[in-house]
């Protein structure tokens, strides 16, 4: 089998199962986090306030990724930048807005979201390993997606790809999006990610305090967690019981 066909086959499989990556990160990260919490002498940050601020710093990193996703989804064309896993879908080619400075903004957003979680472990080598694994994992997916776009959009895609970086943004090439921001699409698609992110942070925080037998819960994190769950339930109800989140086209 040719290397190109092999990479495309691997990319297709990884695209369909890309939800597995968060589970791998969560399981390994949770184990390392619990190990560190049970051995506080291994932590560089000794004071409780330092732990508190570090958790908020990790949350901030994850929020950077989440807001990148919000911006990308909100300004993307209809039937693009979705959460589909069965097959590649792109009715049109996104080339303006954030897509004018980087070709894969959603994967950049995902990286920062999961980087914040990886940082929670307090394990420097795990953060490095996660970063390397993430880019190796998504390399095949990006290759497969770009083959799909090249075959579908031809020269239009090639001309855009020549001037737009794959993963590191070139801010000087920014072109304003031709679409208005679509809050309905954002609320439909991103409610799951927001709730999952906050639940993970809350679980890590509670587990750490239980291990240390210190009921000093990070109230800021827990407030975000409760809000995310309530928002998810409300938006889920609105989505399936009303037409408020449906697009007019």
Nearest CA among 215, 238, 206 for reference residue 30: 206
Task: Give the N- to C-terminal CA distance of the chain in Å, as an integer.
Answer: 43
DSSP string, the chain: --HHHHHHHHHHHHHHTTTHHHHHHHHHHHHHHHHHHH-GGG-S--SHHHHHHHHHHHHHHHHHHHHHHHHHHHHSPTT-S----SS---SS---SBGGGT-S-HHHHHHHHHHHHHHHHT--HHHHHHHHHHHHHHHHHHHHHHHHHHHHHHTHHHHHHHHHS-SSS--GGG-B--SS---HHHHHHHHHHHHHHHHHHHHHHHHHHHHHHT-----HHHHHHHHHHHHHHHHHHHHHHH-STT----
**Per-residue pLDDT tens listing for the chain (249 residues):** 454 555 566 556 666 666 676 777 778 888 888 787 777 666 656 566 777 788 889 999 999 999 999 999 999 876 665 555 454 555 688 888 999 999 999 999 999 999 999 998 888 888 999 999 888 888 888 888 888 888 888 898 999 999 999 999 999 999 998 888 999 999 998 999 999 999 999 988 888 778 777 667 778 888 989 999 999 999 999 988 888 888 765
- pTM of the predicted protein model: 0.84
Domain boundaries, the chain: 3-182
């Amino acid at each position: 089998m040719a290397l190109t066909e092999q990479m495309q086959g691997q990319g297709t499989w990884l695209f369909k199962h890309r939800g597995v990556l968060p589970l791998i990160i969560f399981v390994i990260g949770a184990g390392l986090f619990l190990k560190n919490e049970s051995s506080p002498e291994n932590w560089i940050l000794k004071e409780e306030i330092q732990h508190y601020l570090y958790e908020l710093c990790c949350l901030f990193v994850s929020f950077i990724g989440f807001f990148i996703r919000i911006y990308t989804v909100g300004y993307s064309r209809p039937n693009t930048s979705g959460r589909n896993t069965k097959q590649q879908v792109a009715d049109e080619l996104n080339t303006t807005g954030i897509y004018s400075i980087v070709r894969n903004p959603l994967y950049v957003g995902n990286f920062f979201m999961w980087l914040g979680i990886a940082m929670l472990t307090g394990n420097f080598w795990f953060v490095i390993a996660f970063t390397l694994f993430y880019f190796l994992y998504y390399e095949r997916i990006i290759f497969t997606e770009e083959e799909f776009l090249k075959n579908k959009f031809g020269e239009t895609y090639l001309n855009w790809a020549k001037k737009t970086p794959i993963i590191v943004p070139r801010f000087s090439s920014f072109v304003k999006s031709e679409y208005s921001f679509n809050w309905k699409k954002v609320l439909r698609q991103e409610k799951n990610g927001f709730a999952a992110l906050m639940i993970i942070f809350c679980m890590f925080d509670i587990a750490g305090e239980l291990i240390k037998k210190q009921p000093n819960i990070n109230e800021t994190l827990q407030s975000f967690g409760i809000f995310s769950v309530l928002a998810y339930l409300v938006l889920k109800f609105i989505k399936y019981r009303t037409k408020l989140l449906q697009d007019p086209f």
